[in-house]
Amino acid sequence: MNFGKCNGKDKRRKIGNKAEECIENNVICQSCGGNYVNLNDTIKMNFAGIDLQCTICCEFLQVKSKEIHDGINYPILNGHWNKMKIPASKNTLVETISINSKNIRFCYLFYKKIDGDCIVNSIAITECLTPKNISPQKNSIICKRATWIDM
């Protein structure tokens, strides 16, 4: 799946917006099978640590995108595909998880750049995050389980 050019001004924001749009249009809610809607588009507000919301069960999804290179560069730990290292800050994700415990998932969209285009490689979606299935570490959270979708 190609989600467009990755160059130019505000490249990081553009890639993030395209990743959110890609997830919104191609991934269903892992809890109920509903569709996601982008909160930043519908409510016109920026929610720290939350990008998408399921239209049926109201579960939240935080989307991050990561470029991968020839060597695998996934945020996994010690080769365990079911453990993800999630970058976090006290002001966003950690607080969001504590407020929305059992109602938020984290989603990583992995892409490669080919001739300036961003080609989606795979998507990883965590289980609903709770204090029981995450381990806080310095500037990151370790989630114990994730579902992988190859594109």
Q: Which domains does the chain have, with CATH numbers?
A: 2-150 (3.40.210)
Q: Per-residue pLDDT for 89 more than 80?
A: no
pTM above 0.75, yes or no: yes
| Helix locations, the chain, DSSP H | 11-26, 39-42, 95-99
β 146-150/60-67 pair status: unpaired
Type and span of the H or E element at 128: none
Residue range 109-144, pLDDT digits in tens:
888 887 778 888 888 888 888 777 776 666 667 777
